Structure 1
Amino acid sequence: MYDVHWDIETGGILLKDTRNEGIRGEVRPVFYEELEILGFREQWRYLRADEPYLWAVGGRKYFYRGELVAEAIGGGLYSRPEIKYYQTGLELRPVDIPAMLAKNGQVLEGMVQQAIKFIYNTYRRYRKRVDITAVAFSGGKDSLVMLDLVQRALAPDEFVVVFGDTTMEIKATYEAVDKARRRWPHLNFYSARSSKDARTLWREMGPPSRIHRWCCAVHKSAPTLLLLRELAQKPAVRALIFDGVRHEESASRAGYLAVTDGGKHRMQTNASPIIDWNAGEVYLYLFSRRLMLNRAYRYGIMRVGCAVCPSASLWKEMVSSCVYEKDMESFIDALRQYAVSAGVPPGQIDQYLQEGGWKGRAGGRFLEAGGNRVIEKWEGEKVRYTLRRPEEDWQAWARAFGPLVLTGEDRGYIEREDGLYPYRIARLNSSVVVDLGRIRPADRFLISKLRAVAAKAAYCRHCRACEVECPTGALDTRDKVTIDDEKCIACGQCLHLRGKVCLAAKSLVVSGGDGMAMNANKASLHSYQTFGMRKEWLAEFLRSPGTWVENNSLGNRQFEAMVMWLKHAEIIGGDRKSGWKLTVFGERLRSLGADSSLTWAAVWTNLARNSTPVQWYVSNIPWLTSATKKELVDKVGEQYTLSASTRENSMTALAALLAKTPLGNELGLGVDTSPGRRAGGPLYKRGWAEPHPVAVLYSLYRYAERVGRYELTVGELYGQAPEGPYTLFGIDREKLKLILQGWSSRGTGWIKTDLVRDLDNIFLDRSRLACEVLRLE
């Protein structure tokens, strides 16, 4: 709410209403414990005082009485940072906390009274609309301030305190929770914990990642709401929850409102009284109230959280590995096992973990429980779902779609207001086949529900996240899925968790949305009749796309191959019957022309999505390696169990695409190392040395559209991302950051970045389409 300035006299900070003239960046106090683990005693002298000695800005720059005196550079899970000293031989004096508080007293008191008033008024406004009021307590500094403010504003019997125990917490957090209970013995404290511990669910659902953050819903939101149901003694609970969310914490939270109805759960209202506070104000309040501080902050951790987290910064991992190694141990072991399954060489596993390679996990390819378990096949108005090794009975989940009327063993019909849908089940060894009739392929709403039922039956791990979505209490998923027909209103809320059919399915599937392998014939490998697209072919098409079909220079087989290349590049749409039509993307390429590197970069981006040989090449041939066509044919056989001739035809077309377009040499995606040879030499996957900025942005938007998220990280792009600037073009991390920062600095709104303080966040505009990016050229 106020700018933070240095107070040289006290060694502390001073709040002023100066409007962006204060310290730029988040500030935190630095205690002797942090100085000890980083080796500052070699250069400075200090005692083991309770008070802080310095302040850090951005987590890594150390200020002593207003002057930058040191900076930590680098560091991570298995490496300590390098300390760059700007002053040596310092004899540190601790911050004079009483004097600092005295100077900030009036300003701080005004903020506190405003927050208390907000809490009181919000509670009064919502108390008759909700069944229960709670304070979300994590053991961190923000939730500690939040709890103290709420207990000052409300009576003890007007709210409960809920600690969300993820079973992944560090010991300092459990200690902080115990201290809070002793500090406020008159408050009603509860712990909410999932029925399955984190280690079990890591094994069953795979390690959480930045893409699949199932852990928050499973270990925090769902247990809390289930606990509140018990406390309120209601099958579904409307809750007002006070939390310590602050705008300063991240760019994604910068747009949060102070009160949000249905933001996290449709029957939950979140109120954030300190949402405008900065970290300096939080610490001043903690000091002023003499509240115990989670000890992790004294070691330099900026945000307390799980021992191992996909969103953790390198700095947090460095500190945690120094202080809380035992708390991390079992989870690090699980990540090591995952790395082995992912094919990481034993000597490179530490580096893989240090760089956070696991944080970009996009699917279950390398997980024991991973893979596609649902195959959908249509025949007229009949659909067949084949469930491979399903975890639950399909009929149990089908009751969420509508009541079942049994007409025999494993047969019957689903009864809904819009009709009766007969089904028959066949059990074949480890698979279950469900045939349904009277399903119109055009009824997308109906089909989405049936697909959800199939995915849930195939993947359900009883995480209970969908159970809290049920408004009547009809669903029970603790040990075995049961739905009470008398209570169930077939609303379908449990079938869609804010766009995710099933958290386990989303985490374990290899391809296809929500656990669905929509095409059972995924083993096909496009051959393009051995012809690769050529630059002159595309130039000819772009000159006159309207008459190209009737007037082109290609032979019959070349024509058929080119049509497939154009469709897979998304330049044309439609089919032979209705006629091929130029797409919006194709229209943009007409103005760019076949000589533009941007044209070919955009084409490659689309081909990587739709062309199986290009997709395979992108995913399986590492950067800075060479491969002959024979080596490509042999290697593609490891994934596609097809005849040698089929594989050779496909790789011949791929090699020709690279050799006869700018993709190979100019973009460095397959440089011919022996251009004089008739058959061409080994292809060297060098990477794009001078990437076009618009091509980079286009690939980011395409990737965002694929994963359904517009908040990305640089780290995930260099993990196992199936697309993106690195996967597609081999762009160096630092070069990519420069390009991203260049885009962000233009202020056009297409992209915003947060690439400082160990953060690598990318924010795209959800309202814009990838094809619109090409207009920026």
Structure 2
Amino acid sequence: MYWCKSCKIPTYDEICPICGQKGKHLTTDVRPVYPAERLLLEIIKGEPMKYREASVWKGSNSYYADGKRIDFSVSDTKEIEPNYIREKLAEYQEENRVNSFDVYAKRFVEANSARYDYITSEACGYIRKAAEGYGKTDMFVSFSGGKDSTVVSDLVMRALSDQQILHIYGDTTLEYPETLQYVKRFRKEHPKTPFLISRNNDKDFYDLCEKTSGPPSRVMRWCCTIFKTGAIQRKITSIFKGKKKVLMFNGLRRNESKARSKYERDTGETKIAIQKGASPIIDWMNFDVWLYILTTGVDINNAYFFGYERVGCWCCPNNGNWSEVLSSIYMPEQYNRFHNMLVEFAKKIGKPDPEVYVAEGGWKARQGGNGLEYAKTSVLTFEPCALQENTINFELQKPIDEGLYELFKPFGYLNRELGNKRLGEIYVTDKNGKLLLKLQGHIGSRTLKVSMLDKTAGHCNSFSALDKKIKCQITKYQMCMGCLACESVCAKGAISIVIDREGMKSYKIHDSKCVRCGECIGHFDGGCYMRRVMTIKR
């Protein structure tokens, strides 16, 4: 990005299209700073209204006023008092209504119109190409309430000349208040656009943090599966029932993170089995997204006015320190509740100084489930049978119920007639009746004997491979807490997890839909998604 000293705006081209002057290199990417964020920055620095007439932008973790870097670091906010900041924001609110933001925004749009025309034309062409072969009822826009999905929504409806493209919004239950307000505005402003909301009403985030899995961390974001992917998958399955392919337009961009930099444009989000992802703005920079927003005047989430870089779950461990500062100021009740929960968790797992652990972001970096009772369910207790070859005796951590037998359906078909009912025997056969496995255990007991009768069960080629797959399913049985990850894995929609009012869950594999492909068995390391995040030291 370049800075035009004369026009006081960032430009994509080195030569400013407005004045013709050569610009100076500014940074690799840049976004506008709205008046509310600018005022907050000034108050923190003790200089209210200092930059009101300046052209203020942010890029590469630095703020710039009229092309010059502002001396500011997020570390400067460690000693701020949120109540004082809120008082100052209210004091200057009226005065801050008069500012130069619109002047420079308009000039920015004018100077970068060629870039806007190019990225918009390319994205619309891609959308039309991606939609070939799909009917209107075979596609949808994945809508998060963030700037990227807002832009994609606008692009899709423009490119296809159709306001009636389905939008699915995933309410994670951890949304910013401004996001929920924006979703209401969006629906009101687009009355012809079908808009559905997915939400996991069976689980409570704080309940899981406090009683089960602890808070999520950067490498243990179990909340995404439980409150986002799983809920969206259910919604997709119910809406597109019987469809063999579904096209999802999303707002993924490669420069958002290192992990996303590896995504392909035509696959994108692959956590949900039956859909193909299309990412129209995958190579756009922040500069491009904001250029589109300012050029079109499309309505956006008000959270961006405050200075939030990303708008997803407000307490995500991937959020930066600046987001935490903003939340402490603009949503104190939610912030204090989450902070207190983190402190109590730190005490629970034996941290010597819980407040320091939380303040320094130790919770964000934690790995595994050490110190958590639930994590113990990831440990299997078993021994080979001394009397029968290829047989394992398991000592389970929960009593046997019908859900255990459901987990053996991917290996074949349950046959209760062949076994000795008095001994609790159930056989697993292939579709021709060939014996594959024998299960022996009684409902209510914690002892299970599994005999491997055919090494080809579960598409295996050895008893050792089959042994591992059986342990995957036993792990699922012990750890299942209804996270819905298994539902998302099955491309046939054969798996359903039902949670009743008392919180009891049932895991069901429907024989009429299951093709015994075995994908659900080992899709996650060790069989269960939660095992991956809850691994503990023995």
Q: TM-score range by the shorter chain?
A: 0.7 to 0.9
3-state SS in 2 of match to 1:210: coil
Q: Deviations over 1:582-610 (max 9, x none)?
A: xxxxxxxxxxxxxxxxxxxxxxxxxxxxx
| Percentage of identical aligned residues | 27
Q: Equivalent of 1:265, from 272, 283, 296?
A: 272
> What residue is the counterpart of 1:400 in the other structure?
410
When residues 262 and 165 of structure 1 are mapped into structure 2, their CA distance, relative to the original with a 3 A threshold, is: closer
8 A Cα contact 2:394 2:448, kept in partner: yes
Counterpart-to-counterpart distance in 1, 2:275 and 2:395: 37
Counterpart-to-counterpart distance in 1, 2:347 and 2:363: 11
Q: Deviations over 1:622-676 (max 9, x none)?
A: xxxxxxxxxxxxxxxxxxxxxxxxxxxxxxxxxxxxxxxxxxxxxxxxxxxxxxx
Q: Does 1:5 align with 2:34?
A: no
**Which amino acid letter does the alignment assign opposite residue 383 of structure 1?**
I
8 A Cα contact 1:401 1:450, kept in partner: no
Q: Equivalent of 1:36, from 18, 36, 39?
A: 39
Q: Does 1:382 align with 2:391?
A: yes
Counting matched residue pairs gives: 490
3-state SS in 2 of match to 1:260: coil
> What residue is the counterpart of 1:27 in the other structure?
30
Counterpart-to-counterpart distance in 1, 2:491 and 2:254: 31
8 A Cα contact 2:390 2:463, kept in partner: no
**Which amino acid letter does the alignment assign opposite residue 47 of structure 2?**
Q
Q: Equivalent of 1:351, from 352, 356, 367?
A: 356
**Which amino acid letter does the alignment assign opposite residue 142 of structure 2?**
A
Q: Equivalent of 2:206, from 195, 199, 204?
A: 199
Shift of 1:34: 2.1
Shift of 1:102: 1.7
When residues 354 and 79 of structure 1 are mapped into structure 2, their CA distance, relative to the original with a 3 A threshold, is: farther
Q: Equivalent of 2:472, from 430, 446, 452?
A: 452
Structure 2 unpaired stretches of 5+: 16-22, 83-97, 456-460, 500-505
When residues 142 and 385 of structure 1 are mapped into structure 2, their CA distance, relative to the original with a 3 A threshold, is: same
Q: Does 1:217 align with 2:225?
A: yes
Counterpart-to-counterpart distance in 1, 2:512 and 2:266: 35
> What residue is the counterpart of 2:19 in the other structure?
none
3-state SS in 1 of match to 2:149: helix
When residues 261 and 446 of structure 1 are mapped into structure 2, their CA distance, relative to the original with a 3 A threshold, is: farther
**Which amino acid letter does the alignment assign opposite residue 396 of structure 1?**
E
Counterpart-to-counterpart distance in 2, 1:21 and 1:254: 28
Shift of 1:73: 4.2
Shift of 1:461: 1.0
**Which amino acid letter does the alignment assign opposite residue 324 of structure 1?**
M
Shift of 1:360: 2.6
Counterpart-to-counterpart distance in 2, 1:17 and 1:241: 36
Q: Equivalent of 1:151, from 135, 149, 157?
A: 157
Q: Deviations over 1:426-460 (max 9, x none)?
A: 5677x343443437694343223211210111111
8 A Cα contact 1:45 1:92, kept in partner: no
**Which amino acid letter does the alignment assign opposite residue 49 of structure 2?**
R
**Which amino acid letter does the alignment assign opposite residue 308 of structure 1?**
C
8 A Cα contact 1:29 1:54, kept in partner: yes
8 A Cα contact 1:466 1:495, kept in partner: no
Q: Deviations over 1:720-774 (max 9, x none)?
A: xxxxxxxxxxxxxxxxxxxxxxxxxxxxxxxxxxxxxxxxxxxxxxxxxxxxxxx
> What residue is the counterpart of 1:415 in the other structure?
429
- TM-score normalized by the length of structure 1: 0.58
Structure with bigger gyration radius: 1
> What residue is the counterpart of 2:90 in the other structure?
none
Q: Does 1:494 align with 2:503?
A: no
> What residue is the counterpart of 1:425 in the other structure?
441
> What residue is the counterpart of 2:349 in the other structure?
342
**Which amino acid letter does the alignment assign opposite residue 428 of structure 2?**
I
When residues 157 and 185 of structure 1 are mapped into structure 2, their CA distance, relative to the original with a 3 A threshold, is: closer
- The within-5 A match list for 1:258-657 is 258-260=265-267, 263-345=270-352, 348-372=353-377, 373-379=379-385, 380-389=389-398, 393-406=403-416, 407=419, 408=421, 410-416=424-430, 419-426=435-442, 431-438=446-453, 442-479=462-499, 480-499=506-525, 501-511=527-537
> What residue is the counterpart of 2:70 in the other structure?
69
Counterpart-to-counterpart distance in 2, 1:391 and 1:182: 51
Counterpart-to-counterpart distance in 2, 1:111 and 1:261: 19
Counterpart-to-counterpart distance in 2, 1:170 and 1:119: 29
8 A Cα contact 1:26 1:57, kept in partner: yes
Shift of 1:167: 0.7
The Cα RMSD (Å) is: 3.1
- TM-score normalized by the length of structure 2: 0.82
8 A Cα contact 1:27 1:58, kept in partner: yes
Structure 1 unpaired stretches of 5+: 82-90, 512-521, 523-777
Counterpart-to-counterpart distance in 1, 2:80 and 2:152: 35
3-state SS in 1 of match to 2:396: strand
Counterpart-to-counterpart distance in 2, 1:93 and 1:327: 33
